[in-house]
Amino acid sequence: MNLDYSVDVYRQLEQQFQNAALHRPMRYERYEAGTILEYEITGVAEANQGTIQLEVEKFVGGGFAGQVYRVKIRHIETRGEQISSLCAGGVYAMKILIPPSGFSRLFRNVLYWVGFQGPFQLQVNPAAARSGALWQKFIRRGAQTVFGQETAVVDIHATFVDEKLGSCGELSEWVEGRTWRLEVDDQLDA
């Protein structure tokens, strides 16, 4: 991120746009720290549904698969049973399955249109996003068998649809760490 980037300036510009009372809604490409979001969510392990209110703590980054945020749950209300592993005050990773840059979005969409004659399903189809999250659960079970612990693979807790960005998303556990590219590979010469 550019060092001259200011969230305060962004908020002022957003407020000026809202004050203009235009008929066309503001177009968002990503969210800034401090943004409050509300979604209808569906649990992955069990299909319990509810409403969740999140606060964006940090935009972590993005690529061709989507954009990732560190978020904190402000409030969660379920219809029926609780969604396991989600609690108010908890810190989670939120992945929205649309790239933050226009070029990445165009490149990915062209590849999918050429390869599959259709759009990137995880972005536009909530059932596909949920299926992808369920596959993650299967991969975790495989990690349990191979590595002796399923925590080697991130757990996805819930899926949702982000109407502002026009994409599906998922809430998963937050894992502290750094990019693997900065780590020394001790097995390089082995």
pLDDT tens digit sequence for 131-147: 999 999 999 999 999 98
Is 188 inside any structural domain?
A: no
CB atoms inside a 10 Å sphere around CB 30 = 16
The model's pLDDT over 13-65, given as tens digits with 9 standing for 90+, comes to 888 888 888 888 888 888 999 999 999 999 998 888 999 999 999 999 888 88
Considering the domain boundaries, does residue 109 fall inside one? yes
CA–CA dist 107, 15 (Å, integer): 32
| Residue 118 included in any domain | yes
- Could you tell me if residue 88 is inside a domain? yes
Domain that holds residue 45: 31-176
Count how many domains the chain has: 1
Residue 41, class by beta-carbon neighbours within 10 Å (0-12 exposed, 13-18 middle, 19+ buried)? buried
Q: Does residue 20 lie in a domain region?
A: no
Has this prediction a pTM greater than 0.85? no
Task: Evaluate whether residue 5 is within a structural domain.
Answer: no
Determine, yes or no, domain membership for 190. no
